[in-house]
């Protein structure tokens, strides 16, 4: 097993390629996988999908009157986002199969996707041997306006379990999760999810679970998991985002509130 990039008593973060790290994790060792992989989307044509991530996915914020405001800042890009449809299906099936092995029987699997990749993602989930249970909608409340088209203000969460759902929690969540994205002044990742939407997903798992995110990004899943009393294992290939993630995890572990924003959470070399 590779040496973790960051580790404390409740969180472990690897700066490595996801599939290679997943293959090293023990069978039936985690309670939940909650993750937001690269979508390989951002356009209907192959040329559009092959644009750098920082050009395809730009964060839109909200004006005081509720209208959308074009992005005014840029974020570091990420790799692995240019696969075509067949390549994305094969790749997703491979890493999801590893997650199925790592999950305990009855464990929860939740993966984000967009409308273009929703059919492919549900196919991959089933090809991996997971039991597809539902699709939840993340309603962001805002979205890029395109004249004459529906506003793109939702993404999707494909929810599955590793076999029978043996220990359902006493919760009855809606399939519509309403949370606005992080504001541009606090966002630290190009496609960052709000902690609140991850917290909603965590209500489906038992207390004190081990939560795995093989595409950790800025560790929003880790932050939500730690704040809810779970343990966290994350994998992030980008060293830049691994450092951002480590700072956020350290913030929560030390009992501080994570407010996002790298300046507020960077402990420096002495940490």
| pLDDT tens sequence across 121-138 | 999 999 999 999 999 999
Residue 14, pLDDT > 70, answer yes
- Reported as a single tens digit per residue, the pLDDT across 73-114 is 455 554 556 788 899 999 999 999 999 999 999 999 999 999
User: At the topology level of CATH, where does 6-265 sit?
Assistant: Rossmann fold (3.40.50)
Q: Are 213 and 248 in contact (CB under 8 A)?
A: no
Q: Are 137 and 175 in contact (CB under 8 A)?
A: yes
DSSP H or E stretch at residue 124: helix 118-127
Nearest Cα to Cα of residue 111 among 241, 18, 248: 18
Q: What is the pLDDT of residue 37?
A: 96
In the chain, where do the E strands start and end? Answer: 6-7, 11-14, 30-35, 61-62, 68-69, 103-113, 131-144, 152-161, 176-178, 210-213, 231-235
For tokens 């356009």, name the residue.
Answer: 43
**Percent above pLDDT 90 for the chain:** 65
- Phi/psi for 144 (5° steps) reads -65, 120
**Percent above pLDDT 70 for the chain:** 76
- Reported as a single tens digit per residue, the pLDDT across 34-65 is 999 999 985 544 555 454 444 544 555 555 55
Residues shown for the chain: 271
Q: What is the pLDDT of residue 267?
A: 37
DSSP H or E stretch at residue 122: helix 118-127
Average pLDDT over residues 176-188: 80
Residue 184, pLDDT > 70, answer no
- Phi/psi for 139 (5° steps) reads -90, 110
Residue 221, pLDDT > 90, answer yes
Q: Which residues lie below 8 Å from residue 115, measured CB to CB, with a gap of 6+?
A: 152, 154, 156
As to burial, measured by CB atoms within 10 angstroms (0-12 exposed, 13-18 middle, 19+ buried), residue 102 is buried
Q: Give the Cβ contact number of residue 87 at 10 Å.
A: 11
Task: Name the residue ranges covered by the structural domains of the chain.
Answer: 6-265
Average pLDDT over residues 179-190: 72
Q: What is the pLDDT of residue 2?
A: 79
Q: What is the pLDDT of residue 179?
A: 95
As to burial, measured by CB atoms within 10 angstroms (0-12 exposed, 13-18 middle, 19+ buried), residue 253 is middle
SS3 content of the chain, % helix, strand, coil (to 5): 30, 25, 50
Average pLDDT over residues 200-207: 96
Q: What span, in angstroms and rounded, lies between the C-alpha atoms of 205 and 74?
A: 35
For residues 155 and 254, the model is more confident at: 155
Q: What are the CA-CA distances from residue 158 to residues 148, 161, 268 (Å)?
A: 28, 10, 37
Average pLDDT over residues 23-39: 97
Q: What span, in angstroms and rounded, lies between the C-alpha atoms of 101 and 250?
A: 29
């Amino acid at each position: 097993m590779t040496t973790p990039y960051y580790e404390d008593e409740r969180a472990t973060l690897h700066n490595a390629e996801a599939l290679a790290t997943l293959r090293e994790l023990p069978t039936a060792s985690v309670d939940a996988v909650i993750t937001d992989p690269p979508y390989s989307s951002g356009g209907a044509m192959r040329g559009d999908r092959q644009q750098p991530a920082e050009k395809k996915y730009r964060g839109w914020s909200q004006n005081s009157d509720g209208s959308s405001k074009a992005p005014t800042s840029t974020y570091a890009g990420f790799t692995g986002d240019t696969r075509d449809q067949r390549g994305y299906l094969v790749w997703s099936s491979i890493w999801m199969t590893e997650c199925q092995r790592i999950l305990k029987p009855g464990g929860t699997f939740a993966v984000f996707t967009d409308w273009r990749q929703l059919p492919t993602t549900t196919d991959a989930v089933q090809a991996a041997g997971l039991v597809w249970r539902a699709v939840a909608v993340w309603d962001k409340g805002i979205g890029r306006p395109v004249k004459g088209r529906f506003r793109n203000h939702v993404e999707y969460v494909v929810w599955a379990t590793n076999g029978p759902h043996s220990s359902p929690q006493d919760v009855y969540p809606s399939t519509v999760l309403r949370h606005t994205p992080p504001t541009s002044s606090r966002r630290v990742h190009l496609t960052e999810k709000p902690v609140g939407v991850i917290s909603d997903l965590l209500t489906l798992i038992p207390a004190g679970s081990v939560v795995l995110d093989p595409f950790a990004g800025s560790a929003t899943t880790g932050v939500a998991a730690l704040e809810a009393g779970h343990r966290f294992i994350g994998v992030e290939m980008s060293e830049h985002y691994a450092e951002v993630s480590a700072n956020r995890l350290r913030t929560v572990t030390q009992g501080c509130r994570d407010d996002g924003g790298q300046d507020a959470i960077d402990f420096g070399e002495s940490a």
